[in-house]
C-alpha cells in the first residue's frame, strides 16, 4: 500500500513539474501571479496555497489554453484521489490504533 502511495506521489510531482514549467514558458503572467512557483526551490506555503487554489477553483480554464487545461485537470484528479486515499488510510490507521489499545488485555 505504501509503495502505491509513493508511486502516486512521484507521478503527481512529475505532472506538477510539467505544469509549472508550462506556466513559466507559456503563461508567464499567471505563473508570476502564483508567485513564480517551482517544485522545490521557490516553494513556500503561500505559493503552495495559491497553486492549490488555482487547481481547485479551476482558474486555469479562464486562461483559454487547452493544453494547460488538460494538464491541470490531470493533476487535479491525481491530487484529489491522493488526498482521499491518504485521508482514508490515516482514518483506518487511527481506527486500528484505537481498537488495538482498547482490545489489549
pLDDT tens digit sequence for 96-105:
888 877 666 6
Q: What is the mean pLDDT of residues 66-87?
A: 92
pTM here is 0.79
What is the separation, in whole angstroms, between the first and last Cα of the chain? Answer: 29
pLDDT tens digit sequence for 26-72:
999 999 999 998 887 767 888 889 998 999 999 999 999 999 999 99
Q: Mean pLDDT, the chain, as a whole number?
A: 89
CA distance 10 to 84: 17
pLDDT at 105: 62
- Count CA atoms closer than 13 A to 24's CA, side-chain side: 12
CA distance 6 to 25: 29
Amino acid at each position: 500500500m505504501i509503495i502505491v502511495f509513493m508511486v502516486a506521489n512521484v507521478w503527481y510531482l512529475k505532472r506538477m513539474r510539467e505544469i509549472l514549467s508550462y506556466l513559466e514558458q507559456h503563461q508567464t503572467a499567471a505563473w508570476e501571479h502564483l508567485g513564480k512557483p517551482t517544485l522545490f526551490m521557490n516553494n513556500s506555503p503561500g505559493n503552495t496555497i495559491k497553486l492549490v487554489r488555482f487547481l481547485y477553483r479551476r482558474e486555469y480554464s479562464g486562461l483559454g489554453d487547452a493544453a494547460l487545461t488538460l494538464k491541470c485537470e490531470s493533476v487535479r484528479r491525481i491530487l484529489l484521489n491522493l488526498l482521499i486515499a491518504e485521508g482514508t488510510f490515516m482514518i483506518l490507521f487511527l481506527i486500528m490504533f484505537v481498537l488495538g489499545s482498547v482490545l489489549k488485555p
